[in-house]
Copies of this chain bind each other. A is one copy, B any other.
């Protein structure tokens, strides 16, 4: 679908490039030409500096993992505020957010029969625990939710259901969308069929011996059975034992539990606009990470890119509109900060003239997607022209924003996606292996250049982007 429509989008972008920028001419400092020159200059500055890399380096060195509700989460709030101030952003503050407090606890598991082997695994985010001695049961393998549906009850009841679905490696992350239901909904679905626990093959493209975490959701009032992700080599070993045709018994012990709530915060930093301070360009990244790794690509890069882009804009002088960085609390385990922001800023949302979220790792931006009003078709072309030197190609698929934009998307805020190459992202996503060394500083320069281009363009253009028509949320 996306591929088929790209040609049309490119043609459109080229047509726009030929017509030049649209909009009324303003004062010299905010004339289309001056604004464009400024944006291009900021793009070049971003390309020649390592501001974003230094930020993610320092965040991972000085804080590391920062799971919502933990001490490190609070340290991350302080770090973000302190750093935003030291970057020269004029206004920095935090807003309280209540987050659920989920404790991972210990995790162990082993194949008991036919051939005993210890397994590398961890609890899915939100999973309940097992009794301290663990749960031992026979394993039944199913590929995915659809395959589970076809299983007779007696094949599932009292068993540990093992979801074996493999994830495809794709640049656009489509493989993740295909495989992730086994994690998000597998435990709830297997519980309803009488399973006693769930194992999944990690939703992952690597074959390293790291289990990949990520949230799972039980249904209100439905059974809550313990659920764990196996590292890919362990999932394959379990499959090989099952392939022997012998009954495979497994023991799983998880110390996971929910323990009420904790206080966290969204951190905000902004450069108030000179002419239209009440019109807001919103750059969003989640501040939290899972408890594994050092949260380098998920989402240290997003934090670093949004702050680095804002710093470049602040250093160039405040733009016409306000540029606001929103570093949210607890994206990973419930979008707490994004929801709190939408609630606390309801009145302002109609004046959000653009929102963009950075939360796709450290691969280069490949495509530009927009969700603009039909009357702003030319604006998309302007932006495409500005991004073309970075090797970013327009794509006709509409922008969707990231998870943290879900709560404000229904307002019709104009959205931009910088669609990143995610070919390698799901090798390290949600694992201990999400560390600084996997980030290519050259990619961060391109991403920072793209982000500052989007932000400065939206903040400086003569006419604000109009609210977009809203499709019903699925």
Residues of A within 8 A of B (CB): 57, 60-64, 115, 117-118, 120, 207-210, 232-233, 236-237, 240-241, 293-294, 431-433, 435-438
Contact = CB atoms under 8 A, between A and B. Distances in A.
Contact of A435 (B63, B233, B435): B233
In the A-B complex, the 9 residue pairs with the smallest Cβ-Cβ separation, listed nearest first, are A233-B435, A207-B437, A62-B115, A61-B240, A64-B117, A209-B433, A209-B432, A233-B437, A208-B433
A73 to B, nearest CB: 14
Given A237-B294, A294-B237, A432-B120, A438 B207 contact: yes
A245 to B, nearest CB: 13
Contacts of A438: 207
A462 B339 CA distance: 83
Nearest to A244: B61
B63 A115 contact: yes
Contacts of A64: 115, 117-118, 237
Nearest to A114: B62
A237 B115 contact: no
Nearest to A60: B237
B240 A57 contact: yes
Contact of A241 (B61, B293, B436): B61
Contacts of A437: 207, 232-233, 236
A102 to B, nearest CB: 18
A470 to B, nearest CB: 43
A237 B437 CA distance: 9
Contacts of A241: 61
Nearest to A431: B209
A435 B209 contact: yes
Nearest to A241: B61
Contacts of A117: 64, 294
Most B CB contacts (10 A, CB to CB) among A117, A120, A209, A436 go to: A209
A210 B241 CA distance: 25
B120 A237 contact: no
Contacts of A232: 437
Given A61-B115, A117-B294, 9 more contacts: A61-B237, A207-B435, A207-B438, A232-B437, A233-B433, A233-B435, A233-B436, A236-B436, A237-B435
